[in-house]
């Protein structure tokens, strides 16, 4: 039944579709194949065949929760040894998913966000202090590295009352190094045949075990510190203290460990990438940056501490983020499985449990939805009228359905606040020779992005 679905032309027996594939760039390879092969296609590596979907109509069908559900596969499944039955990696049938979802959802309510806001501002101040120093010294800033410091400190402090001291370090915190190690390893496992992986990756497997042990130790330390001290009403408190409102059940210590790792990783890596891509595009589009800056001036005036509501009012800045997440959704794909035997698009039969990968990064470029200029950066695609005129399920950077991102509002509030603060303070100048390169480690990051800062010109 797969035979109707196109695949790359040069298929080598046993090995599969390796021509045009690189272990470092599985997503960008898939995007290229998608452009050649159309809205649904398949790739095979060592007997594993994966079906990819990016056409808007097929993707909308896959968003139907009555017929399809999240599939824990590939990169997500490879993270199970680290994140276990934590929220992100839990199988749909695992009882800890619903339990943790219900216990933690109030931690992402509007009231909760308002509570995190002052802490987010305080962390952003650490960033601007650092960037002020770099600017004064005439040095370019390392955008992904600094955005990662910012987002890690933000989730660690707001969620867990923990300070990694990222801004006081010249090198990434070992937690970040270990996390990048496990994400990269999980991605490598995707592209290698299961029986070969232990041999090919022997050294990497040893390092991965050490990385996982480090993540566990760090998290156990954070939890132990909290058990000794009073609670702060944050995510960790919810994990430790809150019983399920319906059943009275609580998370077990082992599950809490999984949740803390999940939130520390999921809560910063993708947001860091989103901010980095947005800053890249702002540096390349001075007109768009000027318009955003004018909005910040109008909405914030010269208050040194913009309030929660003043962030929500930065509509144009939000569109810049949306547009960055359209072109480079930093979690660039998600998997969907059939709940029952079904036929996708009226032609592709899927058995119960069969799954396909939605290539968000290509869905967001489908010319039928986004037009012939889909590759161009244009935040006005997200003005209210344009959004209304588009079909549903065409913009999915946060996934879909019951298993969509719980941290969406958290990420958008944090990122809008930070972009507002940076736009207000600096003019962003690109390095003349820089060409956007994408680093892939399950998530996406603009590789080697550095920007020069100038004190901003006074508003006209």
Which residue of 255, 271, 276, 324 would you call a contact of ligand HEM, by CB under 6 A?
271
Q: Which of 40, 98, 231, 155 is nearest to 413 (CA)?
A: 155
Considering only residues 399 through 428, tell me which ones interact with ligand HEM, judged by CB under 6 A: 399, 403-407, 410-411
Total Cβ atoms within 10 A of residue 340: 11
User: Distance between alpha carbon 74 and the CA centroid of its chain, in Å?
Assistant: 16
52, 263, 377, 398: which is the annotated catalytic residue? 398
Residue 218 or 271: which CB sits closer to ligand HEM? Answer: 271
Q: Which of 56, 123, 150, 155 binds ligand HEM (CB under 6 A)?
A: 155
Minimal distance in Å, beta carbon 78 to ligand HEM? 12
Q: Choose the binding region for ligand HEM from 14-22, 191-199, 208-216, 267-275 (rule: CB under 6 A).
A: 267-275
Task: Out of 26, 144, 161, 397, name the contact with ligand HEM by CB under 6 A.
Answer: 397
What is the nearest approach in angstroms of ligand HEM to the Cβ of residue 411? 4
Residue closer to ligand HEM by CB (options 76, 251) is: 76
Our finding on whether 263 is near ligand HEM (CB under 6 A) is: yes
Query: Should residue 270 be labelled a site residue for ligand HEM when binding is judged by CB under 6 A?
Result: yes
- Known catalytic membership, residue 405: yes
Q: Dihedral sign, CA of 23, 28, 31, 36?
A: negative
Least distance (Å) from ligand HEM to the CB of residue 409? 9
Q: Rounded to the nearest 5 degrees, what angle is found at the Cα of 433, between the Cα atoms of 133 and 281?
A: 70
Cβ atoms of residues 58 and 236 within 8 Å: no
CA distance 334 to 92: 14
Between 310 and 349, how does the x/- string for binding to ligand HEM read (CB under 6 A)? -------------------xxx--x---------------
Query: How many degrees, rounded to 5, is the angle at CA 142 between CA 413 and CA 451?
Result: 85
Measured distance CA(302)–CA(310) in Å, rounded: 12
N residues, the chain: 460
**Total binding residues for ligand HEM by CB under 6 A?**
27
- In the region spanning residues 286 to 315, those forming contacts with ligand HEM, defined by CB under 6 A, are none
Mark whether 330 is an active-site residue: no
Please, what is the minimum distance in Å from the beta carbon of residue 417 to ligand HEM? 13
113 touching ligand HEM, by CB under 6 A: no
The residues in 56-75 that bind ligand HEM, with binding defined as CB under 6 A, are: 70
Helix (H) and strand (E) counts for the chain? Answer: 20, 12
Q: Give the DSSP letter string of 188-206.
A: HHHHS-TTTHHHHTHHHHH
Residue range at the interface with ligand HEM (CB under 6 A); choices 16-24, 30-38, 215-223, 264-272: 264-272
Among residues 208 and 259, whose Cβ is nearest to ligand HEM? 259
- Between helix 174-191 and helix 26-37 the angle, nearest 10°, is 40
First to last CA, the chain: 63
Q: C-beta of 98: minimal distance to ligand HEM in Å?
A: 9
Residues contacting residue 87 through CB under 8 Å, at least 6 positions apart: 97, 100, 101, 104, 259, 262, 263, 406
> Exposed, middle or buried, 97 (CB in 10 Å: 0-12/13-18/19+)?
buried
- The CA-atom distances, in angstroms, between 66 and each of 53, 331, 343, 398 are 19, 24, 13, 19
Exposure string for 299-338, b = 16+ CB within 10 A, e = fewer: bbeeeeebebebbbbbebbbbbbbbbbbbbbbbbbbbbbb
In the complex, the smallest distance separating the C-beta of residue 410 from ligand HEM, rounded to whole angstroms, is 4
Site residues for ligand HEM, 80-109, by CB under 6 A, read: 87-88, 101
Q: Which of 41, 54, 316, 398 binds ligand HEM (CB under 6 A)?
A: 398
Radius of gyration of the chain, Cα coordinates, nearest whole angstrom: 22
Position 394 contacts ligand HEM (CB under 6 A): no
Strands (E), 241-386: 333-338, 342-344, 348-350, 355-359
Compute how many other C-beta atoms are within 10 angstroms of the C-beta atom of residue 155: 27
CB of 275 to ligand HEM, least distance (A): 8
Nearer to ligand HEM, 393 or 452 (CB): 393
443 is catalytic: no
Q: How far apart are CA 240 and CA 251, in angstroms?
A: 7
Closest distance between ligand HEM and the C-beta of residue 36, in Å? Answer: 25
266 is a site residue for ligand HEM (CB under 6 A)? yes
Site membership for ligand HEM, residue 379 (CB under 6 A): no
Sole window of 42-50, 61-69, 348-356, 398-406 interacting with ligand HEM (rule: CB under 6 A) = 398-406
Of the residues 270, 330, 356, 443, only one is catalytic, namely: 270
Q: Which is nearer to ligand HEM, 190 or 330 (CB)?
A: 330
Contact residues toward ligand HEM (CB under 6 A) are: 70, 76, 87-88, 101, 155, 262-263, 266-267, 270-271, 274, 329-331, 334, 397-399, 403-407, 410-411
Q: Tell me which residues are annotated as active site.
A: 270, 398, 405
């Amino acid at each position: 039944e797969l035979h109707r679905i196109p695949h790359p032309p040069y298929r080598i027996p046993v090995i599969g579709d390796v021509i045009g594939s690189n272990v470092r760039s599985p997503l960008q390879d898939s995007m290229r194949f998608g452009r050649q092969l159309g809205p649904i296609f398949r790739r095979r590596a060592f007997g594993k065949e994966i079906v990819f979907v990016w056409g808007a109509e097929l993707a909308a069908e896959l968003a139907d929760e009555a017929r399809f559900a999240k599939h824990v596969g590939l990169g997500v499944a490879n993270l199970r040894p680290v994140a276990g039955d934590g929220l992100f990696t839990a199988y749909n049938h695992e009882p800890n998913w619903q339990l943790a979802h219900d216990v933690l959802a109030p931690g992402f309510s509007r009231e909760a966000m308002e509570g995190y806001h002052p802490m987010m501002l305080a962390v952003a101040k650490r960033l601007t202090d650092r960037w002020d120093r770099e600017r004064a010294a005439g040095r370019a800033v390392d955008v992904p590295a600094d955005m990662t410091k910012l987002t890690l400190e933000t989730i660690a402090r707001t969620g867990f009352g923990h300070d990694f001291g990222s801004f006081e370090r010249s090198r990434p915190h070992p937690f970040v190094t270990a996390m990048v190690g496990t994400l990269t390893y999980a991605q490598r496992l995707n592209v290698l045949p299961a029986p070969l992986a232990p041999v090919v990756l022997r050294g990497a497997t040893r390092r991965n075990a050490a990385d996982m042990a480090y993540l566990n130790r760090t998290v156990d330390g954070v939890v132990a510190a909290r058990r000794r001290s009073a609670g702060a009403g944050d995510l960790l408190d919810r994990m430790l203290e809150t019983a399920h409102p319906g059943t009275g059940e609580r998370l077990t210590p082992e599950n809490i460990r999984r949740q803390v790792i999940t939130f520390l990783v999921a809560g910063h890596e993708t947001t860091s990438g989103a901010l980095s891509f947005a800053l890249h595009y702002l540096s390349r589009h001075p007109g768009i940056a000027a318009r955003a800056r004018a909005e910040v001036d109008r909405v914030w005036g010269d208050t040194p501490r913009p309030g929660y509501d003043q962030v929500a009012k930065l509509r144009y800045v939000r569109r810049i983020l949306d547009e960055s997440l359209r072109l480079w959704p930093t979690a660039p794909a998600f998997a969907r499985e059939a709940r029952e035997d079904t036929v996708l698009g009226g032609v592709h039969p899927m058995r119960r449990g069969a799954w396909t990968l939605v290539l968000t990064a290509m869905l967001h470029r489908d010319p039928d939805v986004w037009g012939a200029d889909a590759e161009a950066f244009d935040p006005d695609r997200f003005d209210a009228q344009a959004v209304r005129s588009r079909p549903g399920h065409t913009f999915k950077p946060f996934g879909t359905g019951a298993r969509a991102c719980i941290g969406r509002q958290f990420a958008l509030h944090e990122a809008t606040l930070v972009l507002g603060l940076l736009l207000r303070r600096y003019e962003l100048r690109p390095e003349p020779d820089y060409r956007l390169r994408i680093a892939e480690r399950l998530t996406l990051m603009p590789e080697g992005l550095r920007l020069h800062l100038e004190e901003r010109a006074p508003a006209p």
